[in-house]
Chains A and B, each alone.
Chain A
């Protein structure tokens, strides 16, 4: 074999544990979850196994090779453009029958391949006994059992990968029924000489037949009308065989092959209803389930408040003491001011990350890992419909409570661009963990927990109202929900910690340095009195419209970096410690300010991701939308409180 680094792609249906397996082999590189469509773009890693380097690519989960959803198109493009040296087909052993449909399709590529029966523990719990040798014989490729969450079977997998690559053995496709197979063969003979061949002639012919009603079909017509006529004739012939559209006939052939293989090598003892299944019928219950959903979110909120708030007070103490100590010893010169800024930046980060961010991320990770998010989508679909969206957006909004950025990236799972745009415009209004922290810290700490809860509901109300307005503006009937509900799983601590680490790393790497730098810069600016200039420029807006002290103007500049910075900078700008805030501004002012900052603009990273994902225009719309909502709601808060 040559010295080129072999490319290995991981392909499997959503929720087959592909990313977990990838992580087990490649280290912490890919995010995992129990919600279809997590890997929207692919993760890539170089792995050394027995002194050889392999390039491993984790592709998004796909149900079939006929691309429909955006993340599935990624898979197809990747396979066709960068012909991989080997395919690792990751199969959820507990759903062997359906997963085999993709396996049958992948075999048709006739690339070297290894099949991984992942989640063997789950399959055994379901009472399934899988005869691996029989399966290997039927598929013609090596089959390996793994439990990726525990790292079982990964060594065998890499050994087999090495073996297959060394031998360069490619599998043969499985045979459809004779009369269908003969039609496919007929088409392969009709393929024009300049026709782009994907993998092999038969696979290309199958793709062409299945392209009926897809955009490619028009391309055929325009480029080669003769071929298109032949293609349509073959389609009609296949269609006549089973009285169904040709694409359905081919899909049904694979369905039946998969079913036959499954029946031939898997025995299922009739398993009792497991504890998880009983729990599931409770979670999905129309009344109890909805009640539980509310309870879970209320509980999350309460827990974070009960644990986070006291912890924050306790954590802030040494930093506050340090700040006072510096000011006492070094006085009011520049180094002292910069040092104070530094201490406040670091301390502010500590006060966000440990008490609130980590617990929230762990809880979200837990809900995602057991498979609750898809269930929340199911239960909330009716509500979402009333707001003009559907249940598929629910998990995205829930993700947004952790951090807006991954939620916006994940809007790729929505089929229609209209749904994507609306959801992406709404997500910045969802209070993310960092923002929740500030709301909790400031509002709950200063005004009491009920105020914080009220503020939270105000926020959700704004999202609901905006959604109904936006969906009316972009009129279009939202396609109905089709969402796989994966089995409820016992949580894997490793997955949850990995996910928490991922999100935390983003915050520590990106946001915390900005927070520290911002704090130092603000100290510097205030030392040279530059902040006065900013404040006086913003004064008509800040004090005129919102009725706030002029000195808060400069904090809004930092809000462009991250919204919560504005709030943290507030202490710095007003020149008071945590405890004395309400001596300088009134409750109304505090609420007005929190409201304004909460809505006023997507944070820099959110804006950047909207720009990248949906374009400059949508990013601009998002900024304007946020600004106008912020001005409107905060003025309303101001007026409401001056009346009562």
Chain B
């Protein structure tokens, strides 16, 4: 509602390619394709219900280079991820119907 949303044109430039959570616009559907980084991080995300193949959306951004807020659209949960971690989660755009 109050969030900053990038416009459609910006979204199109990244359509069809894999990028990290730090590069995606707010409010659009993406699918997790890979989680880079150590097993500790990987296990933690799995425990929190964030798996490869899940649909997610960026839901917010803390000030001054703070963490990003990620919503899992499959399970309707939200987690805050530090930018270092967010950069290790790779996503690709999903169609609006979630295919």
Contact = CB atoms under 8 A, between A and B. Distances in A.
A190 B41 CA distance: 30
A39 interface: no
Interface in A357-407: 374, 377-383, 385, 390-391
Most buried by A among B39, B41, B47, B84: B47
B64 A95 contact: no
Interface in A267-317: 273, 278, 281-282, 284-290
A245 B47 contact: no
Interface in B6-31: none
Contacts of B65: 382
A480 interface: yes
Contacts of A213: 39
Q: How many interface residues does chain B have, given as a range? A: 35 or more
B76 interface: yes
A98 interface: yes
A382 B69 CA distance: 13
B62 A68 contact: no
Contacts of B51: 248, 251-252, 255
Contacts of B75: 95, 97-98
A482 B2 contact: no
Contacts of A377: 80
Interface in B32-89: 39-49, 51-52, 59-67, 69, 72, 74-85
Given A63-B47, A68-B47, A485-B69, A248 B42 contact: yes
Contact of A482 (B49, B64, B72, B82): B82
Interface residues of A, number: 49
Contacts of A278: 1
A286 B85 contact: no
B98 to A, nearest CB: 13
B2 to A, nearest CB: 5
A259 B49 CA distance: 11
Contacts of A101: 49
A98 B50 CA distance: 9
B78 to A, nearest CB: 5
Given A97-B76, A255-B49, A259-B74, A390 B39 contact: no
Contact of B39 (A245, A273, A383): A245
Interface string A240-264: 0000110110011001000100000
Contacts of A382: 62-67
B80 A378 contact: yes
Given A63-B48, A68-B47, A482-B85, A95 B77 contact: yes
A71 to B, nearest CB: 13
A106 to B, nearest CB: 14
Interface in A38-91: 63-64, 66, 68
A288 B45 CA distance: 29
Contacts of A284: 59-60, 62, 69
Contact of B66 (A126, A255, A259, A379): A379
Contact of A286 (B47, B49, B61, B76): B61
Contacts of A379: 62-63, 66
A286 B62 contact: yes
A381 B48 contact: no
B49 A98 contact: yes
A484 interface: yes
Interface string A112-141: 000000000000001000000000000000
A66 B43 CA distance: 8
Contacts of B63: 286-287, 289-290, 379, 382
B79 A482 contact: yes
B9 to A, nearest CB: 23
Nearest to B48: A63
Contacts of B77: 95, 98, 484
Contact of A483 (B42, B79, B83, B84): B79
Contacts of A245: 39, 42
Given A381-B62, A382-B64, A481 B42 contact: no
Contacts of A485: 69, 78-80
A64 B42 contact: no
A381 B78 contact: no
A247 B67 contact: no
Nearest to B42: A248
A282 to B, nearest CB: 6
A483 B74 contact: no
Most buried by B among A66, A95, A98, A390: A98
A381 B3 contact: no
Given A247-B43, A248-B46, A278-B1, A480 B84 contact: yes
Contact of A481 (B39, B49, B72, B81): B81
Contacts of B69: 284, 378, 485
B43 A281 contact: no
B46 A381 contact: no
A285 B64 CA distance: 12
B47 A64 contact: yes
B40 to A, nearest CB: 7
A8 B88 CA distance: 41
Given A64-B47, A98-B49, A483 B80 contact: yes
6 contacts: A68-B44, A378-B62, A381-B62, A385-B66, A479-B40, A485-B80
Interface of B: 1-3, 39-49, 51-52, 59-67, 69, 72, 74-85
Given A479-B41, A480-B83, 19 more contacts: A98-B77, A213-B39, A251-B46, A255-B51, A281-B1, A286-B61, A289-B63, A290-B63, A378-B62, A378-B66, A379-B63, A380-B66, A381-B62, A381-B66, A381-B67, A382-B67, A383-B64, A484-B78, A485-B80
